[in-house]
């Protein structure tokens, strides 16, 4: 299992929303927050191994040549498939949300007054999901070791039986 990542990137060219979201998540979670105003800057810093990225759908409202959110999402997933990306958008359209999910987004948040509370919930959900994933991996490893141990025990008993070393034991023939 990979180590738990405690960094969140906020990628949005709207400085007001980015600052408000950063302040809110700093207050409500124990993650370390980083803000980038372009997808390109986010890509340059992926080596920091963020656990969650909040990514604006429109990243080219200020710089027209900047890559948009969907393009950045695909680049992020190519470089780091493990990071959970949450799309932020002012568009309350189901088809846009579905499209982002198809590209690998974990969730989709509509920008508005409730966006900050939704973001906090999503962080909590991702944390729980990762914890469950970690537990599942631990149990999987444990069951593999138990199966291997049981297999070795059976082999040992068979060997002891075949070599006649336990043939006299009660219950064994």
Partner 1 sequence: MSQLSDLTFLRTFTGGDSAKMTKYINMFLSGAPQMLTQIRQQTDAADWKGLKTSSHSLKTQLKYMGVTSAVDLAFAIEQQSGELKDLDQLPQLVIQLEVATNTAILELRDELTKL
Closest distance between partner 1 and the C-beta of residue 91, in Å? 8
Residue 127: exposure state from Cβ atoms within 10 A (0-12, 13-18, ≥19): middle
CA distance 120 to 127: 11
Interface of this chain with partner 1, residues 67 to 96, rule: CB under 8 A: 90-91
Interface of this chain with partner 1, residues 93 to 152, rule: CB under 8 A: 111-113, 116
Closest CA to 52 of 72, 34, 79, 75: 34
Residue 46 interacting with partner 1 (CB under 8 A): no
Residue 58 interacting with partner 1 (CB under 8 A): yes
5-24 mask for partner 1 (x: CB under 8 A)? --------xxxxx-xx--xx
φ/ψ of 79, rounded to 5, equals -75, -45
CA distance 152 to 27: 52
The binding site for partner 1 (CB under 8 A) comprises 13-17, 19-20, 23-24, 58, 60-62, 64, 90-91, 111-113, 116
């Amino acid at each position: 299992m990979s180590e738990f990542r405690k960094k969140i990137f906020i990628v949005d060219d709207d400085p007001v929303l980015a600052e408000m979201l950063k302040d809110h998540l700093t207050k409500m979670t124990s993650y370390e927050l980083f803000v980038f105003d372009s997808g390109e800057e986010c890509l340059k810093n992926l080596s920091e191994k963020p656990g969650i990225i909040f990514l604006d759908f429109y990243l080219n409202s200020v710089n027209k040549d900047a890559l948009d959110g969907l393009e950045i999402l695909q680049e992020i997933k190519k470089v780091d498939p493990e990071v959970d990306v949450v799309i932020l958008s002012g568009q309350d359209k189901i088809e846009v949300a579905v499209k982002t999910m198809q590209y690998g987004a974990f969730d989709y948040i509509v920008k508005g007054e409730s966006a900050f509370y939704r973001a906090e919930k999503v962080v909590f959900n991702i944390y729980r999901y990762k914890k469950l994933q970690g537990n599942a991996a631990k149990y999987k490893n444990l069951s593999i070791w138990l199966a291997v141990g049981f297999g070795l025990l059976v082999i040992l008993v068979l060997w002891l039986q075949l070599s006649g070393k336990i043939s006299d034991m009660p219950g064994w023939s």
